[in-house]
Structure 1
């Protein structure tokens, strides 16, 4: 007589591996602050970008003073993926930086757990819109100063005052080109979002 293995034997005995929890984060900021660079530095897949050449007409609209070598610009969004650990996978969406593409922001930000607003201290005026957007939408976020060539024009207190950032919003310095630096900045966003969730749903 052939015995039939019980369900606890063989392949069924293996513990099922839970897939990582998907979390959507948004990387935002003004034109040329390093959003596409940050996504590219951290993504474990080849980033999906919607970049277009900067034409002479666009160059007359977008300020290239501090980014003279920039030849392309994001016209819809950037997308990348990074697995933080076996339990957590981040899906990164980078917003377009120009005001004329602002109508896309609601679609890009929908469903996001939090946001990272990248700031160029040489052009603080370009960053007000992103900060105001996340505050208005009540989405947890952190502000990260991109240290271009290691140079930060103002100290953190001056930037916080200039952008009128609340004390509960983390303000950090990072390098959008460095994987670990981008990772640490994203972990700050996750920490803010988790704290917000715990406050809203105390045990």
Structure 2
């Protein structure tokens, strides 16, 4: 028969010490504490995601290649402007417009694109008309609901073919209308330069020639 001192193994003092050590090294977590930690981790993850996600940013894709460098006065050109969202978030209420200098006319005034997701592109078509000779900047203006658009400037030159004063006033068909005759007289009386003539003015000789052509129409 074993001595009574070996009836419990390991000795109770050793087991008590072991339990005390375990309690110190591995604290027991309550259910509420676990849920609190879980919520904190989720919120921290959401905050980190928000910090690493960039807002929407709309930019024009190579507008210099889309807009002609030169445009003859009196001619038109179809211009396609492509924009892209280079941000992470989705952009809303995206609008594209062209702001022309005084020697150009643009239609329509703007193009409504609407929503543009991350890395998505959209193309809008405008008609640009050269009104008269000039050189300046055509601006591509991008607007969004959160103001994350911008403006891109493109240099444009409108060239005008130099015409004879009579051709500039009446055309090249050889016929003169009454309105063209009145316009000729108005330019003669005002002394203003006739557009697309390189600064030429209407002389009395021009008036007499146009009157003769007008009479020959009848």
Q: TM-score, normalised by structure 1?
A: 0.26
The structure whose residues are more often strand, as a share, is 2
TM, length-normalised to structure 2:
0.25
Larger Rg: 2
Tell me which of the two structures has the higher relative contact order, counting C-alpha pairs closer than 8 angstroms and 6 or more residues apart: 1
